[in-house]
Amino acid sequence: MGAITRGFANNILSGGTINATAGLTGTVSASNITDSSISSVTAFPASAGDFIQSTASDPSPATVGDVWYNNATYALKVSTIQAAAWSSGGNFGTARYNLGGAGTQTSALGFGGYSPGSGTRVLTESYNGTSWTAGGNMANTRYTLMGCGASNTAALAFGGSTFPVTIYAETESYNGTSWTSGGNMGTGRRIAGAAGTFTAALCFGGGPPQTTATEAYNGSTWTAGGSLNTGRFFLAGSGLQTAALAFGGAQDPGPTSFLTNSESYNGTSWTNTPTLNTGRQRLSGAGIQTSTLVFGGSDNNPLVATESWNGTSWTTTSNTPASKHNGWGAGNSNTSALFFGGSPVPTSTNTFEFNGPGPAIKTITTS
């Protein structure tokens, strides 16, 4: 294609009329003209109509409402909002309940617990987001223990008991391969709440009988912290050592007590927060102080009820695929969680994954 010569109006009359009779002439260089492509176009005016981009890869990040054609996979795609939902993950290797755990949805750890017919466990299993694999055994066999940690290579186990009942104060840390003994808790306890990391952990409540005691761990020793407002056991927790959340639980007599109480911790003291919608004990939770998910538990029967906390209130969301209690939860927000182990025994090998609500890329099909 050669150069283009055209006229440019040089006189605008009153009222905005262009004088086209007198003008300047100019030449657009051929090097600036191509008939093969248009590049660096970020938007078209509405009058030009709608266009679908053709690209060899999905945009990242994708904006909700975008539609494009992936010419590498020959798929028409759209970025949309995914509803909150649970789905099934890889099965837990050994059925057990009242276990400890740590990590996130794609890097979780399950340890200890109790298996009917086999008793208390030292077994450790690691999850990579798809499947569970065996890890190093704990030094102490125990169940009704607590755990915390950011991943399956940096976890802490503390407290718990043997069967029938010997209460532990022992602490063990995991590096992805083996367990190492740490400092003992000031008071041995079981079925308590837990939060934090393997070098900055928090333990609160526990029993029975129920206690309000809180202890903080610095990687080597435990020290006393502020007391819970409501003493309880079979509760759950989330968050960090200086920004934690405690919720649910039971009081004597445990089997018929289903608490809705929720409290937040600032590293020094506990403050009551709005209560759960469903009172429950033996529940599980995952997340941080301002973004937590609560699931499962019992009110005399195993529950499927799930609730989401946004730092201000609890909201009911998608139910778990099956009802169970005495399991463990892992995750770092109310939009990404893992639920594994628990009872009744037929469901205790099930792993459930929670996602959403949030952006999601979907392929457009004829169905």
Region 39-57: what's the mean pLDDT? 67
Residue 48: what pLDDT? 53
Asked whether residue 158 carries a pLDDT value surpassing 60, the answer given is: yes
What's the CA gap between 48 and 52, in Å, rounded? 13
What's the CA gap between 352 and 167, in Å, rounded? 30
Residue 15: what pLDDT? 59
Which residue pairs from 254-258 have beta carbons closer than 8 angstroms and sit at least 24 positions apart in sequence? 254/208, 254/281, 255/300, 256/300, 257/281, 258/298, 258/299, 258/300
Nearest CA-CA partner of 242 in 204, 269, 263: 269
Domains of the chain, start order: 1-37 (no CATH), 85-355 (2.120.10.80)
Region 151-170: what's the mean pLDDT? 95
Return the DSSP state at 183: P
Residue 17: what pLDDT? 55
pLDDT-derived band of residue 208, with 50, 70 and 90 as boundaries? confident
Asked whether residue 276 carries a pLDDT value surpassing 70, the answer given is: yes
Region 306-325: what's the mean pLDDT? 97
Lowest mean pLDDT among 101-115, 295-309, 351-365: 351-365
Region 133-145: what's the mean pLDDT? 97
Residue 345: what pLDDT? 75
Residue 360: what pLDDT? 66
Query: 39 Cβ partners below 8 Å, 6+ apart?
Result: none
Asked whether residue 38 carries a pLDDT value surpassing 60, the answer given is: no
pLDDT-derived band of residue 39, with 50, 70 and 90 as boundaries? low
Residue 65: what pLDDT? 76
Percent of all residues in the chain with a pLDDT value above 90, rounded to a whole number: 70
Does 95 or 39 have the greater pLDDT score? 95
Query: 140 Cβ partners below 8 Å, 6+ apart?
Result: 122, 160, 168, 170, 172
What's the CA gap between 105 and 294, in Å, rounded? 14
Residue 367: what pLDDT? 56
Q: How far is CA 11 from CA 7, 21, 25, in A?
A: 12, 9, 13
Region 265-290: what's the mean pLDDT? 98
pLDDT-derived band of residue 54, with 50, 70 and 90 as boundaries? confident
Asked whether residue 47 carries a pLDDT value surpassing 80, the answer given is: no
Cis amide prior to 59 (ω within 30 degrees):
no
Does 144 or 47 have the greater pLDDT score? 144
What's the CA gap between 72 and 84, in Å, rounded? 30
What's the CA gap between 342 and 335, in Å, rounded? 21
Residue 86: what pLDDT? 97
Asked whether residue 190 carries a pLDDT value surpassing 80, the answer given is: yes
Asked whether residue 46 carries a pLDDT value surpassing 70, the answer given is: no
- Are 285 and 235 in contact by the 8 Å Cβ rule? The answer is no
Give me the sign of the Cα torsion angle 24, 29, 30, 34: negative
Lowest mean pLDDT among 102-106, 166-170, 219-223, 363-367: 363-367
Percent of all residues in the chain with a pLDDT value above 70, rounded to a whole number: 84
Asked whether residue 34 carries a pLDDT value surpassing 80, the answer given is: no
